[in-house]
Structure 1
C-alpha cells in the first residue's frame, strides 16, 4: 500500500468472491477513515440490506447490531487497494446517499489485537 492509494481519485474495489461489486472512488481522507463515492456494479444489490441495517444501527447507537453488520460484511466481502492487492481487514460503511467511509488494516484484526 502506497501513500498514493490514499489520494483523491484513486479507486478501491469491493468484491464478493471473484466478482467486483463496487468501486470506491476516493474523495478524501480523515485518517483513519477514507471517504469515497460508490459506483455500484452488478452483484452489489444483494448486500444493500446489510448496509442499510448497518446505517440504522449506527444512527440508533445499537453497537451490538452494528458489530454484527460489520462481521457479516467482512465475512462475505473483500476489498482491494487501487493496485489490486487485497486489504487484510476493513470496516466499511456504505451510506444511502451513495457515499462510503472505511478504515483499513494491513493485517487481520485478530493479529492486530493479539
Structure 2
C-alpha cells in the first residue's frame, strides 16, 4: 500500500513557530527523497537566504557549510505531515526554482547517534 504522505498532490507544511510559511505539494519521490513544488507564504522570505546559501554550499561541495545551513533550518523551522502531525526530523532543500526536496526520519537525528 502506498504511503498517503508521499502521494502526488499531498501537502506538507513548513512552520516558523505557529506561522505556516510554506506549503510543499508532493510531485514525486526518489527514496529516500521526496520532491515538491513550493508555495511560499508570508514569513518565508526571512529564511530564503539560508536555503540559497545551503544550495550554493552543496554546489561547491562545501559540506561543512551545507551542514551548518541544515542545522540552522532545523533549529528555526518545523515541518508537518499532510495530516498536521509533526515530522520528527528532516533535511530540507528549497531551491531557487520553486521546487524542494527533503528526506525525513521518525526519530530526531541526534537520537540515532547515541
Shorter-chain TM-score bucket reads over 0.9
Dislocated runs of 4+, deviation >2 Å: none
Unaligned stretches of 5+ residues in structure 1: none
- 2:62 is equivalent to residue 62 of structure 1: yes
Separation in 1, partners of 2:109, 2:20:
23
> What's the counterpart of residue 94 of structure 2?
94
Separation in 2, partners of 1:56, 1:66:
8
- SS class of match (1:29): strand
- 2:40 is equivalent to residue 40 of structure 1: yes
Query: May I ask how many residue pairs the two structures share in their alignment?
Result: 113
TM-score (norm 2): 0.97
Unaligned stretches of 5+ residues in structure 2: none
Separation in 1, partners of 2:57, 2:12:
25
TM-score (norm 1): 0.97
**1:13-69 C-alpha deviation (Å, 9 max, x unpaired):** 000000000000000000000000000000000000000000000000000000000
- 2:11 is equivalent to residue 11 of structure 1: yes
CA displacement at 1:110 relative to structure 2: 1.2
Separation in 1, partners of 2:78, 2:48:
15
- 2:77 is equivalent to residue 77 of structure 1: yes
- SS class of match (2:79): strand
- SS class of match (2:57): helix
CA displacement at 1:111 relative to structure 2: 1.3
- Considering only aligned residues, what root-mean-square deviation do their CA atoms show, in Å? 0.9
